[in-house]
Amino acid sequence: MRPDELLDAALQLPENERIALAARLLESVPPDETGLSIDDPNLAHELDRRFNDPGEGVPASELWDHQE
């Protein structure tokens, strides 16, 4: 079964079964080794800091130029 077919079949399940399936899938993935979490208040603080002070960053155009 192709992934898109599997997704279509999973979306036909009742909500409680989709939640259980999603939980089991997430349990099968190794933990994130970066230590970062979207729920981490320090991450939210850092994102706010960067948003409010964009002058410290490197322009995206400069990053793209270095990738070529």
All structural domains of the chain with their residue ranges = 3-30+38-67
* More confident: 2 or 59: 2
Question: What pLDDT does residue 36 have?
Answer: 66
pLDDT at 5: 93
CB-based burial label for 35 (10 Å; 0-12, 13-18, 19+): exposed
Task: Please state whether the predicted TM-score (pTM) of the whole model is above 0.85.
Answer: no
pLDDT digits (tens, 9 = 90+) for 17-65: 999 999 999 888 887 766 667 788 888 888 888 888 877 677 778 877 7
